[in-house]
Amino acid sequence: MMEVFEARNIAKYYSSVPALAGVSIKIHPGEIVGLVGHNGAGKSTLLKVLSGAHGADGGEVLIDGTEVNFASPADALAKGVGTVYQELSLLPNLTVAQNVFLGREKSDWKGLKKEEMRNQAKELVKSFGIDVNVDAPLGHYAVATRQLLEIAVATSKNIKYLLLDEPTTSLEGEQVDSLLKYIKNLAETSNIGVLIVDHKLDELYRICDRIVALVDGKVRIDGNVNEVSHEDVVVAIAGEDVSSLLDSEPKRDAVSVPTSETSKVQGRGEPLVQVRNLRSAALKGVNLDIYPGEVLGIYGLIGSGRTEFLRALGTLHPIESGSISVQGKSFKGYKPVDSLKAGLVYVTEERKMDGIVPQLSPIVNTSLPVTKKFSKLTWLSLKKMDSTMQKILARLQIRGNLQGPVVSLSGGNQQKVLLGRAIALNPKLLMLDEPTKGVDIGAKGEIHRIFKDMAHQEQVAVVVVSSEEEEILEVSDRVCVFAQGRNICEPEDVANFSVQRLRKLAWSKD
């Protein structure tokens, strides 16, 4: 019987909405399959089903013709299917050797076999050509090295198939080249079948044998790379033949730097923020003007530089060159508080990781960056602070106990608390990264209303980054698209965009 890891007619629903609608895919030993699709196409859901993280609502998963039902990722691993997620799982405070054997430590009646594990870890990293000291903490090494180690550790567990989720997102240049060579060599020498989810078609075409394109939870393309062109994939993802649209778009190198004349958008006056040739490890020359009283929507794929751009304006992402001006004056931020003083306020997409403080109340969470305003010498006016924060939270229509832990609130209300914190800072520029991520449809509409009112009634400049095409088109006054580290088109009126055009631009080649 032919060896193959296979999914047949996989269906998965979330609240009766199909995320996967009859998806079938095969991965053979030694084969590299690239999985692509627009944001929300079902790529991550399929990966979670194949890795045992989620169960399917229909269809079957088979290994070598035998149906398997993974109870968990650990169960999948035991059956020969390993997964490396975009969020690295190894622990930076442990040594390389400790990470290699994490959860499967070797021991006998005397205790841990530390020297044996150390020697085997040395052999592992040597066999994969990873130049590290196994006695050093993993956190001492760059993300690229840690990514290689994640894959090396996964393959050391006697797997036949490896699932990779956006493995090059945090890498650049030579780091990407090294990882791609590493994956290619892994498939060829170890006969491991690889499924790699990625947005970067040029990378996939360098190493993949086959390309599979998902569109709205269905397989639209499944073919060998020498039979499926880059444009075939882009057209499939966009959902229509828009080759004529591609021809009409300006080349990325042709995106002009706004001048003093073009910077005055009709009816908008002078820009609040002007960005010129902004460069960093993730940004490759961003040129943008942002105006008071507008919602500027930024669309792009993961790794396009969209988040890094917002974080750069918030002095949370280091800039190598270029310039930022605020109200006509040069701005150079050395720490996040400098951006806050200039009125540039960033709201993170990861509210649980680096947004809310779970055990503090909504009132305290909202007041965290502005407590100094209510302090005089060593005395803090709690009554005045509470009264001010109550007014902000009332405006946001937050439902729940405002004195209890914020973590007890719904996701939508937690997101509103973050918005309340931003409002308390009296922003000139409000930067929202995935502002409705993980919230219900009712809360989504309320959050939209809040920041649109801030823009249109209070003349705050609002920039919204979203993975959802429909959200970008619904909330924005102007839209631009990011790809591979920069805006590949100048911001235009939202009426000039469709879902298809957003996808085309985000997936287009250099």
Q: What is the pLDDT of residues 197-241, one digit of tens each?
A: 988 888 899 999 999 999 989 999 999 999 999 888 888 887 654
Q: What digits encode the pLDDT tens for the residues 321-330?
A: 999 999 999 9
Strands 344-347 and 429-433, sheet pairing: parallel
Q: What is the CATH number of the domain that holds 110?
A: 3.40.50.300
Are 209 and 326 part of one and the same domain?
no
Check residue 72 and report its DSSP letter: S
User: For residue 87, what pLDDT is reported?
Assistant: 74
**227 C-beta neighbours (distance < 10 Å), count:** 10
Do 312 and 443 sit in the same domain of this protein?
Answer: yes
Q: What is the pLDDT of residue 235?
A: 86
284-314 residue pLDDT tens: 999 999 999 999 999 998 778 899 999 999 9
The conformational region for residue 302 under phi > 0 = left, psi -120 to 50 = alpha, else beta, is beta
Query: CA 44 to CA 131: how far, in whole Å?
Result: 31
pLDDT band at residue 244 under the 50/70/90 scheme: very low
451 touches 466 (CB < 8 A):
no
Beta bridge partners of 223: 211
The pLDDT, as a whole number, for residue 239 is 66
* Residue at a domain's end among 197, 222, 239: 239
What does 199-232 look like in DSSP terms, one character per residue?
A: S-HHHHHHH-SEEEEEETTEEEEEEETTTS-HHH
One domain for residues 85 and 178: yes
Average pLDDT over residues 97-107: 86
d(CA 325, CA 260) in angstroms, rounded, equals 13
* Distance from C-alpha of 231 to C-alpha of 435, rounded to nearest angstrom: 32
Strands 429-433 and 461-466: parallel
Q: Is the pLDDT of residue 167 over 90?
A: no
Q: What is the dihedral of CA 481, 484, 487, 492, to 10 degrees?
A: -20
208 and 307 housed in the same domain = no
In tens, the pLDDT along 356-390 reads 888 889 888 888 888 777 777 666 777 788 888 88
The answer to whether residue 246 is domain-embedded is: no
Neighbours of 394 (CB within 10 A): 11
* Residue 96 contacts residue 133 (beta carbons within 8 Å): yes
Residue 495 lies in a domain: yes
CA max distance for the chain: 79
**pLDDT value, residue 27:** 97
Q: For residues 164 and 288, state if they share a domain.
A: no
Domain assignment present for residue 82? The answer is yes
Same domain, 445 and 416: no
- Do residues 403 and 272 share a domain? no
Q: Tell whether 244 is covered by a domain.
A: no
Query: 196 and 332 share a domain?
Result: no
**Average pLDDT over the chain, rounded to whole?**
87
SS3 call for 148: helix
Q: Is the residue at 57 inside a domain? A: yes
Instruction: Name 244's Cβ contacts closer than 8 Å, sequence gap at least 6.
Output: none
Check whether residue 463 and residue 496 sit in a common domain: yes
Is 410 found in the same domain as 482? no
pLDDT for res 249: 53
Chain centroid to CA 252: how far? 22
**pLDDT of res. 250:** 47
Range of the domain at 434: 266-343+427-510
Among 404, 426, 448, identify where a domain stops: 426
| Whole-number Å distance between alpha carbons of 221 and 238 | 12
Residue 495: pLDDT band (50, 70, 90) is: very high
Mean pLDDT of 420-440: 90
Q: State which of 59-63, 252-256, 263-267 shows the largest mean pLDDT.
A: 59-63
What is the rounded CA–CA span in Å between residue 378 and residue 372?
Answer: 10
**CA 418, CA 410: separation in Å to the nearest integer?**
13
Would 249 be classed as within a structural domain?
no
Sign of CA pseudo-dihedral 469, 472, 475, 477 = negative
Q: Are residues 497 and 439 in the same domain?
A: yes
Which of 405, 426, 447 terminates a domain? The answer is 426
| Residues 443 and 369 occupy one common structural domain | no
Is residue 250 domain-resident? Answer: no
* Joined tokens for residue 98: 């400790």
Which residue type, as a one-letter code, is found at position 485?
G
In tens, the pLDDT along 245-255 reads: 444 454 444 45
Domains: count for the chain? 3
Nearest to 290 by CA among 466, 422, 477: 477
CA–CA gap between residue 204 and residue 397 (Å, rounded):
46
Residue with the bigger pLDDT between 445 and 1: it is 445
Of 241 and 472, the one with more pLDDT: 472
- pLDDT for residue 272: 97
* Residue 139 pLDDT greater than 80, yes or no: yes
Q: Is residue 97 part of a domain?
A: yes
